[in-house]
Structure 1
Amino acid sequence: MPEEVIFETERDQTRGEIAATLRSVADKLDAGEDITIRAGEESVSLDVPDRPTFEIKAEREGRAPNTELSVEFELEWDEGEDSSGGDVEIE
């Protein structure tokens, strides 16, 4: 099935700005509220189910000395369905 990107943004931010954004998402998840993502005139609201699939991925791309590291946090669920998964910890 083809992927449809319904919102995307990418920009450099300080670690503190990124932490504040992640805290805001965490607060919305904790409260059971929709998550609204906005950049300029573009926005999308998502109703995250109680048990989505949560994926954490760390990647290294390229070859030394020109490597790029990344960490991705992804919530995934089928529209209209609830998901379940195992426990995860961030240390």
Structure 2
Amino acid sequence: MPEEQPFKTENPQTRSEIAETLAVAAEEIESGTVQLSGPEQEREVTVPEEPTLEVELERLTDSETGEQRYELEYEISWSE
């Protein structure tokens, strides 16, 4: 079986736009099928009934500029 390419998108949005994206994602996760789409790729994935949810908040410092930023990540994982 060929290995699937990773899916990733990243773009600036307002808090309201992010909240709407997460609300749509929550509905799809609850239904069990998630549609992913980006500028150059699309993917559909089935989420099992009991995956693992990881929430992570990190404060990072850019080694060149010293600028600090935060990353808040919600990660859902499961095994096939």
- Scaled to the shorter chain, the TM-score interval is 0.7 to 0.9
Give 5+ residue unaligned stretches, structure 1: 80-91
Normalized per residue, which structure has more strand? 2
**Matched residues, percent identical?**
35
TM-score, normalised with respect to structure 1:
0.73
What is the aligned partner in structure 1 of residue 25 from structure 2?
25
Q: Distance in 2 between matches of 1:51 and 1:6?
A: 22
**Residues 37-72 of structure 1: CA distance to partner in whole angstroms, max 9, x if unpaired?**
101231111100000000000000117x62111100
What is the aligned partner in structure 1 of residue 43 from structure 2?
44
Q: Distance in 2 between matches of 1:74 and 1:58?
A: 11
1:62 and 2:61 are equivalent in the alignment: yes
Give 5+ residue unaligned stretches, structure 2: none
Does structure 1 conserve the Cα–Cα contact (< 8 Å) formed by 2:28 and 2:35? no
Letter in 2 for 1:8: K
Specify the SS of the correspondent of 1:74. strand
TM-score, normalised with respect to structure 2:
0.82
Number of equivalenced pairs? 74
Does structure 2 conserve the Cα–Cα contact (< 8 Å) formed by 1:55 and 1:73? yes
1:73 and 2:77 are equivalent in the alignment: no
What is the aligned partner in structure 1 of residue 7 from structure 2?
7
Distance 1:51 1:71, change over 3 A: same
